Amino acid sequence: MTHFVDRRLNPKGKSLGNRQRFLRRARTQIREAVQKSLKDAAVADIGKERKIKISAKGTKEPRFRLDPRASGERDFVLPGNKELMPGDTIDKPKTGSGQSGKEAADSGEGEDDFEFTMTQDEILDIFFEDLELPNLVRTTLKETPNKVWKRAGITTSGSPTQINLIRTMRNSFGRRLALKRPTKADIEALQDELDRLEQESPVNDEKISALKERLARANAKRKWVGFIDPIDVRFNAFTEQPVPTSQAVMFCLMDVSGSMGEREKDLAKRFYMLLHLFLKRRYKKVDVIFIRHTHDAQEVDEQEFFYSRQSGGTIVSTALDKMLEIQRERYATADWNIYAAQASDGYTQSGDARHCVDLLNTAIMPLCQYYAYIEILDEREMEVFASEDSGAELWRAYRTVAEEWPNFATKRIAKPADIFPVFHELFKKTEAAA
Amino acid sequence: MTTPLFTEPEWDFATIDRTYRAIEDIALNDLKLDIYPNQIEIISSEQMLDAYSSLAMPLMYNHWSFGKMFAREEALYRAGYSALAYEVVINSSPCISYLLEENTMTMQALVMAHAAMGHNHFFKNNYLFRQWTNAEGILDYLSFAKKYMAACEERYGREEVEAVLDSAHALMDQGVFRYRRPPKPSKERVLEKRRRRAQYDEEAYNELWRTLPAGVEPPSSPPILDPEDEFSGEMKLPEENLLYFIEKNSPSLAAWQRETLRIVRNLAQYFYPQRQLKVMNEGCATFVHYTIMNTLFDRGLITEGSWLEFMHSHTSVVFQPDFSDRRYGGFNPYALGYGMMSDIRRICEQPTPEDRDWFPEFAGKGDWMGTLKDAWANYRDESFIEQFLSPKLMRDFRLFALYDKADQDKYKVSAIHNESGYRAVRTMLARQFDAGVADPNIQVTGADLKGNRTLFLSHGMHRGVPLHNQTKELVLAHVERLWGHDVKLEEQAA
């Protein structure tokens, strides 16, 4: 009468449909939350599972409920009295805490914040949505590391297209020798002999019939011992192996002087995140180095890079010097692919731009796989500098570098959607190289 | 000396089966419980989360709110804030209990005693469940509901269906018949409905779909199930069941939308008894598992180690934090229910003079199982507390009552656990567990079907407590969506 059922092997993800419906429903809140959480996230952390906290706005499930705080009266019973006597009074808890707060949470209200975990794919979907990446790029970015088919010796089974002729023929030859399979020449020799005997007179019947028998036996044996037998056949074997990826280092250079505000840094950060994703896809190991500069450059950790401020002038070349110094010390070009991304608002001390160009042309660009310079403007400036040719000193100086080096990109951005075109070029290049 | 049923913490099906038999033996022969056939399913933690998030039912139509619930539960579970329930049990026949695969053998035994015996007996015998829920039919109905909603999504689009479900869910608490039984369709109508459902299944059946892998449902057009249910022209007023009224009388709903409302309404009605029986249901199951596990131990069928493991888990289940405790989150129905039931046993076996005074009907009579069974069958939380809460238990729980008036900034202690306060505290606690009082009393008072089609609702305020203003507006927006025209809600002092 009792049934025991083992359900553990039933298909998983029964609630996937519900989850998708929920994510779609809370899209706006989730997008906000993801952007916010990425803002606080480390550059290398994008594309990991993460916890998301959203406000319960779009996903409220209201029900009629009573509000005894508004007016009216009620009685209620609590457990755990210690010293209270009838007639005593106690303070009401403040709104949103204590007993009534709990009640509110139970009835599906008051849940202003709602925390849950999103998978890597779900996060990337939302991150990309804002950057307006083409779909093709999205999928390639989310792809797991590339794999290639490598030769893995010889097997006895496989598809006919993978047949290894030399091995197969060698086996077949050995077998034919071992089993003494009559060759065509043997048969022909017998046949000639037979013809000759039949022409001869007097006819030697005995010899002829013996020869005929030998011929018949030889023919039969040719049939039994096939030219190629299934046991001879060999195939080339392949196994999937991850692409041996080398390592890359990514230098993030940023001007942190007073003129770079919260918005500018946020845009720069998105840019670095995306670059990191791209590099992650190509290289197994990606180091990220943060160099900030004012009139003086320092290597710092990510936290300081994005969040601390420094006052001072702006000398861009100091950062380039610093980058070269670090590269010489730690990242030999033989072992490392070097990428650099520089973000700035375009101001530098007059005369310094010249120096930068020299550094780039002579020292840095020969080392770098790619160097991206982004100038972060506000939307108003964007209109003023509509043309690529006009701009501040640094911009004009860098344009000359770009003309010389195809792997040097300059771009102005004012909003997240502007970031992608920079990568478009980078991406095209890597595709062509691959 | 008998050998224990198991000595290792790991379980396997043979051990579970053996243990189940021993438990069933005690339940049927010693306690004389009356149960539905049991079906026991072992599931993984992810499946347990799944079960949680779809209202603890094995089948459910798709809706984003279940996804939200799942995400929340999963986050809590992963962060270690909440352990998973050891079991989920479904009021159906056969009675389905889910056991978590991670449980130790002792926990599996505890859970079987709790769910497959305790809850099961309560489901089968309590008058509310007997009268209001159809244990035999619920799984079939859910399966129908799931298919139907999927077909509607296919045909009318997800957004459309979601909108109706959102609105219907908002009114779920107002979608039950509290005081009268649902209008019962005549036998012919029932047969007719069943025929139509079967016909729908037949029509939806298509040779082509047979080649689909199992579990893939073919798309089909949802049928109109009940053309007679279209607006009939007469309304019975006032009507407490908003969903029912709207389903029958809304001037703007299409047939599939009415069927959707009916599905949500039937679910609400199915769950309504559980809301009125939290204390008794959990109390009954906890009392039964406690008695069974101790009997197993007394007979040498479980080891001392298992017994200690069981006691550890039992005591944390029936723990009731004080109101001033940070962990306090309302009354723990397990603690109160179990406390009262073991107290009834004590009164039957070793009554004090005070108990004889308060409970002359059964104090000292010894037949605790008979008394409990009678209570389990014929009471709900409110009446059970009003009838059986003893002064001793009130002292043990140190219960006290507060009087709360909205315009005063302090609560006043109105009664405590003393001679003059017992009755007042008991009555107030009973009221607190009365779903009829806790839920706002909202009724349809009229609908201007000939004129501008305004729907009139009224909230009969209990002791001047109004509806929460913000949520009221949100819910009313949902009502308007279903009704299709203006809705007016009046709050009246009752």
Annotated domain spans of chain A = 14-58+96-131, 147-181+228-242, 184-224, 247-433
Given CB atoms, is B45 within the 8 Å cutoff of chain A? no
- Of B264, B326, B256, B354, the C-alpha closest to B60 is B264
Kindly tell me the number of DSSP H helices and DSSP E strands found in chain B.
21, 8
Query: Residue A4's pLDDT is what?
Result: 84
Query: Residue A311's pLDDT is what?
Result: 73
Instruction: Tell me whether residues A109 and B471 touch, CB distance under 8 A.
Output: yes
Instruction: Tell me the pLDDT band of A250, cut-offs 50, 70 and 90.
Output: confident
What is the phi-psi region of residue A158: left when phi exceeds 0, alpha when psi lies from -120 to 50, beta otherwise? left
Kindly tell me the number of DSSP H helices and DSSP E strands found in chain A.
15, 13
Reply yes or no on whether the pLDDT at B461 is more than 50: yes
Instruction: Tell me the pLDDT band of B248, cut-offs 50, 70 and 90.
Output: confident
- pLDDT 10s digits, A323-366: 989 888 888 777 777 888 888 887 777 778 888 888 888 888 88
**Rounded CA separation A244/A203 (Å):** 77
**CB B32, CB B11: distance < 8 Å:** no
Reply yes or no on whether the pLDDT at B106 is more than 70: yes
Chain B contact set for A88 (CB, 8 A): 412-413
B447: β partners: B455
Instruction: Tell me the pLDDT band of B292, cut-offs 50, 70 and 90.
Output: very high
Instruction: Tell me whether residues B169 and A61 touch, CB distance under 8 A.
Output: yes
Q: Where are the beta strands (DSSP E) in B12-121?
A: 38-43, 87-90, 95-100
Reply yes or no on whether the pLDDT at B121 is more than 90: yes
Of the partner residues B71, B74, B472, the one whose CB lies closest to the CB of residue A64: B472
Domain ranges of chain B: 13-126+277-314, 324-437
Token pair recorded at residue B187: 């036998």
User: Higher confidence at residue A415 or residue A222?
Assistant: A222
Query: Residue A427's pLDDT is what?
Result: 54
Nearest 5°: CA angle at A182, between A176 and A186?
Answer: 140
Fold of A247-433: Rossmann fold (3.40.50)
Instruction: Tell me the pLDDT band of B397, cut-offs 50, 70 and 90.
Output: very high
* CA A247 to chain centroid: 15
DSSP string, B375-410: HHHH--HHHHHHHH--HHHHHHHT-EEEEEETTSSE
Average pLDDT, chain A: 78
Instruction: Tell me the pLDDT band of B274, cut-offs 50, 70 and 90.
Output: confident
Residues 29-88 of A with CB under 8 A from B: 51, 59-82, 84-88
Given CB atoms, is B54 within the 8 Å cutoff of chain A? yes
B171, closest residue in chain A (CA to CA): A63
Query: Residue A133's pLDDT is what?
Result: 53
Instruction: Tell me whether residues A79 and B40 touch, CB distance under 8 A.
Output: no
Region A109-122: mean pLDDT is 68
Instruction: Tell me the pLDDT band of B220, cut-offs 50, 70 and 90.
Output: very low
Region A15-32: mean pLDDT is 82
Chain A contact set for B49 (CB, 8 A): 15
Residues 164-183 of B with CB under 8 A from A: 166, 169-170, 172-174
Region A147-155: mean pLDDT is 81
Size of interface A-B (CB pairs under 8 A): 267
Query: Residue B275's pLDDT is what?
Result: 86
Query: Residue B283's pLDDT is what?
Result: 94
Instruction: Tell me whether residues B466 and A72 touch, CB distance under 8 A.
Output: yes
Chain A contact set for B153 (CB, 8 A): none
**Rounded CA separation B208/A300 (Å):** 65
Instruction: Tell me whether residues A79 and B331 touch, CB distance under 8 A.
Output: yes
Q: What do you get for the CA distance between the two ends of chain B, in Å? A: 66
Given CB atoms, is B412 within the 8 Å cutoff of chain A? yes
- How far does B331 lie from chain A, in Å, by closest CA? 8
The amino acid at residue A233 is V
Instruction: Tell me whether residues A21 and B328 touch, CB distance under 8 A.
Output: no
Given CB atoms, is A9 within the 8 Å cutoff of chain B? no
Token pair recorded at residue A105: 């949470």
Instruction: Tell me whether residues A7 and B320 touch, CB distance under 8 A.
Output: no
Chain A contact set for B467 (CB, 8 A): 64-67
User: Higher confidence at residue A219 or residue A407?
Assistant: A219
Chain A contact set for B325 (CB, 8 A): 80
A105, closest residue in chain B (CA to CA): B329
Of the partner residues B20, B43, B440, the one whose CB lies closest to the CB of residue A64: B440
Query: Residue A140's pLDDT is what?
Result: 52
- Of A254, A220, A231, the C-alpha closest to A373 is A254
Token pair recorded at residue B306: 């298992």
Given CB atoms, is B190 within the 8 Å cutoff of chain A? no
* CA A76 to chain centroid: 57
3-state secondary structure of B459: strand
Instruction: Tell me the pLDDT band of A260, cut-offs 50, 70 and 90.
Output: confident
- How far does B314 lie from chain A, in Å, by closest CA? 20
User: Higher confidence at residue A264 or residue A192?
Assistant: A192
Reply yes or no on whether the pLDDT at A176 is more than 60: yes
Distances in Å between the Cα of A196 and the Cα atoms of A209, A210, A249, B239, B395 are 13, 14, 85, 118, 128
B38: β partners: B95
Query: Residue A106's pLDDT is what?
Result: 37
- Of A57, A14, A48, the C-alpha closest to A276 is A48
**Rounded CA separation B54/A283 (Å):** 43
**Rounded CA separation B311/A304 (Å):** 53
**Rounded CA separation B285/B280 (Å):** 8
Q: Mutate which of A64, A94, A115, A119 to test chain B, going by most B C-beta atoms within 10 A?
A: A64
Task: Give the number of other CB atoms < 10 A from CB of residue B114.
Answer: 28
User: Higher confidence at residue B270 or residue B295?
Assistant: B295
- pLDDT 10s digits, B44-82: 888 888 877 777 777 888 888 888 888 877 777 766 665
Query: Residue B210's pLDDT is what?
Result: 47
Give the list of residues 6+ apart from residue A431 with CB closer than 8 angstroms, or none. Answer: none
A343: β partners: A254, A374
Reply yes or no on whether the pLDDT at A426 is more than 70: no
Average pLDDT, chain B: 85
- pLDDT 10s digits, A44-69: 676 667 777 777 667 788 888 888 88
Query: Residue B342's pLDDT is what?
Result: 95
Distances in Å between the Cα of B363 and the Cα atoms of B52, B214, B355, B375, B388 are 41, 59, 6, 14, 11
**CB B322, CB A79: distance < 8 Å:** yes
**Rounded CA separation B446/B230 (Å):** 18
Instruction: Tell me whether residues B47 and A86 touch, CB distance under 8 A.
Output: no
Token pair recorded at residue A179: 């089993």
Region A234-259: mean pLDDT is 78
Reply yes or no on whether the pLDDT at B214 is more than 50: no
- pLDDT 10s digits, B143-154: 889 889 999 998
Instruction: Tell me the pLDDT band of B186, cut-offs 50, 70 and 90.
Output: low
Query: Residue B60's pLDDT is what?
Result: 86
